């Protein structure tokens, strides 16, 4: 079977750092994606990890441990515009993605 | 961003009627996907295509069919719409690339979505 778990909601303060965790159990693994989705809009690509370690892209970083089935998305210097849903997705095989239910992040001033 | 459009953007239809949603891309991407998004479930794959006339089922394919007669268009048909198919439908596309020594898929680009209400 396939199972991807993320916290349902998180709240953080503007300017702070927040870490959104994702654990997965899938029958295959070809990489892990993070997407951002603002309310009423389409998901947009944030990051991709296929090997263990940290990938940094500006204020956003993503970490992967394949042996633990674990990833996190780290957002630094939070801004109000970062309020959105963050979706973790795993490529089992080929190009098929399996998505978690998403984490709603609320940034407060 | 990939040039992906969906039509219609909003539709209200009655139970039992057929509905077709269209996805059009201008990026010449090989892969195309249809997802539905519902509260508490995230994005779930309905059908996908890995080339012209090559399609396969996803996680929630019952009650849906697809067709891809050319690279740029991917159609999703609800054969007889039911209230349980009320949802937001997203189309996505992707290419294919090498990442180091690992052959893997590229990121998926999403269309703007279609909000479908079945009454």
Round to whole Å and give the CA distance between A104 and B5. Answer: 26
Contact B104 A31 (CB under 8 A): yes
pLDDT of residue B103: 46
Using one digit for the tens of pLDDT, what is the confidence trace for B13-46?
Answer: 999 999 999 999 998 888 899 999 998 888 999 9
Q: Write the CB contacts of B46 (distance below 8 Å, at least 6 apart in sequence).
A: B34, B35, B36, B58, B59, B60, B61, B64, B66, B76, B89
Using one digit for the tens of pLDDT, what is the confidence trace for A29-79?
Answer: 889 999 999 999 999 999 999 999 999 999 999 999 999 999 999 999 999
Contact B42 A91 (CB under 8 A): no
| Residue A27 in this model has a pLDDT that exceeds 90 | no
pLDDT of residue B2: 56
**Closest CA–CA distance from residue B100 to any residue of chain A (Å):** 10
Contact A30 B105 (CB under 8 A): yes
B30 DSSP assignment: S
pLDDT of residue B56: 93
| Residue A25 in this model has a pLDDT that exceeds 90 | yes
pLDDT of residue A82: 98
Name residue, tokens 């269209």: B22
From A45, A91, A100, residue closest to B104, measured CB to CB: A91
Lowest mean pLDDT among A37-46, A93-102, B48-57, B71-80: A93-102
Mean pLDDT of chain B: 90
Round to whole Å and give the CA distance between B98 and B96. Answer: 7
| Residue B102 in this model has a pLDDT that exceeds 50 | no
Report the residue of A9, A93, A97, A104 to disrupt the B interface, i.e. the one with the largest count of B CBs within 10 Å: A97
Distances, alpha carbon B57 to alpha carbons B7, B35, B39, B63, B65, in Å: 22, 11, 22, 11, 9
| Residue A91 in this model has a pLDDT that exceeds 70 | yes
Hey, is B111 helix, strand or coil?
A: coil
């Amino acid at each position: 079977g396939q199972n991807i778990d993320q916290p349902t909601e998180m709240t953080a303060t503007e300017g702070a750092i927040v870490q959104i965790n994702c654990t997965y159990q899938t029958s295959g693994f070809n990489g892990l994606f993070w997407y951002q989705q603002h309310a009423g809009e389409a998901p947009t690509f944030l990051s991709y990890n296929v090997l263990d370690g940290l990938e940094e892209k500006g204020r956003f970083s993503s970490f992967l441990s394949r042996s633990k089935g674990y990833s996190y998305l780290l957002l630094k210097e939070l801004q109000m515009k970062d309020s959105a849903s963050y979706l973790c997705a795993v490529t089992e095989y080929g190009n098929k993605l399996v998505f978690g239910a998403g984490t709603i992040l609320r940034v407060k001033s | 961003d990939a040039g992906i459009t969906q039509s219609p953007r909003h539709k209200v239809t009655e139970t039992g009627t057929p509905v077709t949603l269209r996805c059009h891309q201008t990026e010449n991407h090989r892969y195309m996907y249809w997802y539905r998004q519902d509260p508490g479930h995230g994005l779930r794959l309905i059908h996908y295509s890995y080339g012209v006339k090559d399609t396969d089922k996803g996680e929630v394919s019952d009650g849906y069919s697809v067709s891809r007669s050319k690279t740029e268009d991917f159609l999703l048909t609800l054969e007889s719409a039911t209230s349980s198919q009320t949802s937001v439908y997203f189309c996505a596309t992707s290419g294919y690339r090498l990442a180091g020594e690992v052959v893997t898929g590229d990121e998926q680009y999403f269309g703007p979505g279609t909000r479908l209400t079945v009454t």
